[in-house]
Structure 1
Amino acid sequence: AGFHNVILVGPPGSGKTLLATCLPGIMPNMTIHESYEVTKIYSIAGQLKRESGLVEERPFRAPHHTITATALIGGGAQIPRPGECSLSHGGILFLDEMPEFSRHVLEVLRQPLESGAVTIGRSKQVFTFPARFLLIGSCNPCPCGFFGTREKQTCSCSPQQIYKYRSKLSGPLLDRIDLHIEVPRVPVQLLHNRKAEESSKDIQQRVEQARAVQCERYHYRPGCPFNSVMNGEELRQFAQLDKEGQEMLQLAFETLGLSARAYDRIVKVARTIADLDGAGRVDAAHVAEAIRYRALDRGLLF
């Protein structure tokens, strides 16, 4: 609903990849402005089918962990071409098993995650491609996958192996990911007795309602942006916290050692939670939930 980046952490087989691949089914429909931008990118990249018109479905890109930095960010010898970051514009870039990617490859994501664009310089020209994507990452808590979990299997990794595995994800990169979600293994009893849950269509309707609120809120900006791209002035105008919420966030800031970027991102997530809740103001309950996404078992979730 707010286009907030997510990392899913849990043991093997817990459903992280399934959750990520189901996400397009609940995303809001593209606006005409977004369709134009995505269509242009795919046309430049030579990936627009001849018989198709405007791209109306949000892209879902899931590159393999052997991808190079150039293929991810874009580039080329003479005339650069859009990479996976730009091909994911307006949609999802899914990195399954993030620590298996090269650290250098992951670090090139920092600029587009912050600015929503990729700039590639050549000797005579500079090319800029849009790259405002929703990053979904998944990983295990350690190489074997069972560190810190409540399973009968015990972790067989040494401290050095765990450190090397986790060090692939740098602090600055994780700081740009708003939601750190633990995905525990599903108990076998629930697999035997599966109940009908809320459908993707029903969830999408709630997402569309929150999206409509954001379009009304940022009507003066082209493209109907999401809460995740609010600037400082918009944060002060649309996401004012009450006294209790400010005190709660200050305590979390001091206790968890959050950065100024994390502070702003928590407020943006709280604004989205309030929109989904149909609330005009961001109250302490919304702030508490947003903080929780940064503080779920710090030992397991980096």
Structure 2
Amino acid sequence: MPPARAWSVALFGVDGLLVEIEADLGGGRPGVQIVGLPDTALQQSKERVRAAVCNSEEPWPDRKITFALSPAALPKTGAGYDLALACVALAAAAAIPQEALDSTALLGELALDGRLRTIRGVLPALLAARRAGIRRAVVPSPALPEAGLVSDLDVYGADTLAEVLRWLRGEADLPTPKPTTTTTQTTPCPDLTDVVGQPEARWALEVAAAGGHHLLLVGPPGTGKTMLAERLAGLVPPLTGEQSLEVTAIHSLAGTLSADSPLITSPPFIAPHHSISVAGLIGGGSGLAKPGAISTAHHGVLFIDEVGELGPQRLESMRTALEQGEVRLARRDGLVRYPAQFQLVLATNPCPCAPPRDSECICQSSARRRYAARLSGPLMDRVDLQVRMRPLSHMHVDPDNPPENTATVRHRVLAARARAQHRWSQHGWPNNAAVPGPALHREYALPKPTTALLDRSLAHGVLTGRGADRCLRVAWTLSDLDQSDRPTADHVAAALEFRDRAPRP
């Protein structure tokens, strides 16, 4: 009897590869062998699959069975192959028709009693299966809403192995995903009216939202640094359809999707604790690396409070991702790539004692220098906007002149983003922060009198080439907010002033 075949998917980061699973019944002592570089979890699936088949009242082949997973040189990890292994074993014994397995991807982990357990990464796995020509797929029922996000693919859900086998024999139907609604579900965000005072910081937050710039907030505790950062996600536009799928795929791998509303339509706001490890921040783990905080913040905001306590190793590990928009992680089982196009917001105290006012600081000058030096020059060179927060002098809000709310500021931000998108649309750059430096000096070069202040700063060594490029990007954002066609010398001066507010001893 020729070997039976079934299909599953191997994931490498957000990329997937179709895996062909063959089952052959041979002579000799009964037993199970899996070839094709399986990891420990996959090796142990032999016992799970056999118990699940027997407890589903199906006869397990009383012969030697060999499973071959192809491509053979590709490491296979996890328990997501269980359902495919059980079905292909029964197809090899002629218990189910081989034709039913053709062009069908099978995903899911099996319990010993035959129940199907959900797995991580269903969305990216089905996207990869669709690209490979698969026409239908079976997933555990809890993952059905997530699987339904993939168009042009017939998706079915099941709770047990017995249900899948009856469906493959044509004896029963499996449920399909409910139609997805077209309404956008946005996560409620706190309002800017809650922030008392801080006009410079509020303006910097608006500029950051309009251009997608990184932001540093420096000030004593209780001045509103965290409150401002939490309100940034409410100022930026919702995710596009393509961005939503990218973000949802990453959160599927991280296991943070909600079954009620699996599609993420709002920019994520990720705020890890300052004690997070490098692996938790960038991604890591044994075997194949898992996504970290910077990847779950893709197309969203990554807020790091108490950044002075984070440590240089973790801070410097973000530098490459800030420039390239992705992170590549090499581990034992291969290299994975995760997108990481996030907007970084940092918050720190001016010194270790962090008094309400600078005049009350009791730190020695050497301690202040060491504290400020925790934010290295190369990292600060990548932060476009650096703002010092004012100490609060009163908590009273003038009822005749209340602070602007999020809706008012968001209206200006969206108008500025629309101007930038229209300008960069032919190049595919989503915002001003994404414009490469060469384009700023060639196709969109500003007149020499406009950039004279930048030239003097470069000549005196107070600004690097990267810093000058970032000043130009901020200047374009300021001109968009002013509804100007091109930045003026005042816009360039204001952009340069944002870089002169870093924490100093």
1:266 to 458, 466, 471: 471
| 2:440 corresponds to | 235
Aligned to 1:280: 485
Q: Equivalent residue for 1:196?
A: 402
Match of 1:216 in 2: 422
* Aligned residue pair count: 295
Write the distance in 1 (CA, Å) between the matches of 2:466 and 2:413: 25
Partner Cα distance (2:396, 2:271) in 1: 27
What is the DSSP-based 3-state SS (H/G/I as helix, E as strand, rest coil) of the residue aligned with 1:105?
helix
* TM-aligned CA distance change 1:47 to 1:196, over 3 Å: same
The percentage of aligned residue pairs carrying the same residue is 38
Q: 1:301 to 1:56 in 2, by over 3 A?
A: farther
Cα offset, 1:19, TM superposition: 1.0
Does the CA contact (< 8 Å) of 2:214 and 2:343 recur in 1? yes
Q: Secondary structure at the match of 2:473?
A: helix
Structure 2 match to 1:163: 369
The CA deviation at 1:166 is 1.7
The residue aligned with 1:145 is 354
Listed one character per residue, the Cα deviations across residues 142-195 of structure 1 (whole Å, up to 9, x for unaligned) are 11124xx8x38511111232122122211111111010111111221x625453
> After superposition, what is the alpha-carbon deviation per residue over 1:66-120, rounded to whole angstroms, capped at 9, x for unaligned?
1000000011101211100000011111011100112111111111111110100
CA distance in 1, matches of 2:243, 2:424: 15
Change (3 A) 1:95 1:230: same
**RMSD value over aligned CA atoms?**
1.9
Q: Aligned to 1:58, what secondary structure does the other structure show?
A: coil
Secondary structure, counterpart of 1:269 in structure 2? helix
Match of 1:79 in 2: 288
Farther off after superposition, 262-271 or 228-237: 228-237
Deviates more, 1:120-129 or 1:283-292: 120-129
Match of 1:97 among 295, 302, 306: 306
Higher relative contact order structure (alpha carbons within 8 Å, sequence separation ≥ 6):
1
CA distance in 2, matches of 1:106, 1:293: 21
Cα contact 2:287–2:334 (8 A) shared by 1: no
CA contact (8 A) 1:256 1:295 kept: no
Q: How does 1:27-46 map to 2 (within 5 A)?
A: 27-46=236-255
- 1:244: Cα distance to partner? 1.9
Instruction: Tell me if structure 1 keeps the 8 A contact 2:268–2:299.
Output: yes
1:257 to 2:425 alignment: no
Return the offset for 1:221: 4.6
Task: Tell me by how many angstroms 1:213 deviates.
Answer: 1.8
- State how far apart, in whole Å, the 2-side matches of 1:46 and 1:142 are: 38
Distance 1:116 1:108, change over 3 A: same
2:503 is the alignment partner of 1:295: no
The answer (yes or no) to whether the contact 2:287–2:333 under 8 Å persists in 1 is no
State TM-score, norm by structure 2. Answer: 0.56
Distance 1:230 1:167, change over 3 A: same
Does the residue aligned with 1:129 lie in a helix, a strand or coil?
strand
**Quick check: 1:182–1:301 contact (8 Å CA) kept in 2?**
no
The answer to whether the Cα contact below 8 Å between 1:239 and 1:271 also exists between their aligned partners in 2 is: no
Higher strand share: 2
Distance change in 2, residues 1:26/1:192 (3 Å): closer
TM-score for both structures, normalised by structure 1:
0.91
